[in-house]
Amino acid sequence: MINRSTFSDIDIEIKKSINEILDKLKENNINDYVLFLADGEYVGDYESSSPQLSPYCIDYRIDGYKDQTRLEFLSEFMSQYYSFKDGLQSTDDNQYRMNLELMVYTHIWESKPFLKKLYRIAHLLNGEEYDWKIQIPDMGKHDFIRCHIRQIFKDLGFDIWKVIKNGFHTSLRNAFAHSEYSFDTMNNHNRINLYNYGGANWELETISFDDWSNRFVYSSILSFHFLEIIYERRTNIIRELGTDTFQIKHPKKNGELRLVEIKYRENGDGFSFKR
């Protein structure tokens, strides 16, 4: 269960933390900010199929297509169950809804497009070059999220690390992904038992329904607003920066970086290299 006031506070906290890192990236390096919004990506198929094509592409939309179904479902789900309609002041502990939440939660923290964006902005803020070719492990996402995303934000002093900490827990993700859980309402426990517990000091054996609701809300709102705010900034980039043409650092095939110009067109929401 989570009440309306707590949900609203978390919503405000998350939007503030996302805008904080985007504003800081823009302040630090406009070129990196634009490249981040322009979805630069290494596409290995281009390198092997045609020597003339650069594998370092902008406006890479495949990740968006991969995540589109998940995000459409998430938007509909949150509208249906977390809009606090008809004056409701809190959610209940409806097990049908919570089972759906377990699926949503797992999909959020397994989404490679979502994790790539978090990783890229964390490392750009850390003073590193834009990572065009991110390798997200199919196994071991715990260390990837905790060490290569959350810890970077924490070391830099950005509040979004707390948002990730309040949402992500690998014990939950693993238990839900492998059906190693059950709801326990005997003796008013009102908890989720996790059967992947191995006794490590960072693992969870159980989680109360209230604590689960808190982690779910942190995760779902972060996933939704992070991508929503990035999209809003992208589509408003001309008004925000006063031009439709920008410079980015673009790798040659030998890895050397050079400055090139790209252009954003509002009609069709697209970035392209300026000829």
What phi and psi, each to the nearest 5 degrees, are found at residue 248? Answer: -135, 160
pLDDT band per the 50, 70, 90 thresholds, residue 254: confident
For residue 24, what is the enclosing H or E element?
Answer: helix 4-28
Q: What is the 3-state secondary structure (H, E, C) of 185-240?
A: CHHHCCEEEECCCCCCCCCCCEEEHHHHHHHHHHHHHHHHHHHHHHHHHHHCHHHH
Q: Is residue 196 part of a domain?
A: yes
CA atoms within 13 A on the CB side of 33: 18
User: How far is the C-alpha of 169 from the C-alpha of 40, rounded, in Å?
Assistant: 29
pLDDT of residue 74: 95
Residue 20's nearest CA partner among 167, 115, 146, 161 is 161
pLDDT band per the 50, 70, 90 thresholds, residue 86: confident
pLDDT of residue 163: 98
pLDDT for residue 44 is more than 90 = no
Q: Is residue 248 part of a domain?
A: no
pLDDT of residue 39: 97
pLDDT band per the 50, 70, 90 thresholds, residue 53: confident
Q: Which residues of 112-124 are buried (b: 16+ CB within 10 A; e: fewer)?
A: bbbbbbbbbbbbb
Tokens of 236: 């408003």
Q: SS3 of 181, please?
A: strand
Measure CA 115 to chain center.
5
| DSSP string for residues in 80-129 | HHSS-GGG--B----HHHHHHHHHHHHHHHH-HHHHHHHHHHHHHHTTPP
Measure CA 226 to chain center.
6
pLDDT for residue 50 is more than 80 = no
The CB density around residue 253, as the number of other CB atoms within 10 Å, is: 10
C-alpha Rg value of the chain to the nearest Å? 20
Range(s) of the domain holding residue 129? 4-29+60-229
pLDDT of residue 242: 97
Across residues 57-76, what is the average pLDDT? 94
Distances (CA, A) of 107 to 65, 165, 187, 191, 248: 15, 17, 32, 21, 32
Across residues 134-141, what is the average pLDDT? 87
pLDDT for residue 87 is more than 90 = no
Q: What is the 3-state secondary structure (H, E, C) of 136-159?
A: CCCCCHHHHHHHHHHHHHHHHCCC
pLDDT for residue 51 is more than 80 = no
pLDDT of residue 202: 84
Q: Is residue 142 part of a domain?
A: yes
Q: Is residue 244 part of a domain?
A: no
pLDDT band per the 50, 70, 90 thresholds, residue 82: very high
DSSP conformation class of 21: H
Q: SS3 of 42, please?
A: strand
Q: Is residue 39 part of a domain?
A: no
pLDDT for residue 34 is more than 90 = yes
pLDDT of residue 52: 74
pLDDT of residue 1: 87
Across residues 192-218, what is the average pLDDT? 93
Residue 197's nearest CA partner among 213, 210, 182 is 182
Per the structure, the count of domains in the chain is 1
For residue 251, what is the enclosing H or E element?
Answer: strand 245-251
pLDDT in tens, 94-108: 999 999 999 999 999
Contact between residue 183 and residue 152 where contact means Cβ atoms under 8 Å apart: no
Task: Tell me the average pLDDT of the chain.
Answer: 94
Q: Is residue 40 part of a domain?
A: no
Q: Is residue 131 part of a domain?
A: yes
pLDDT of residue 187: 84
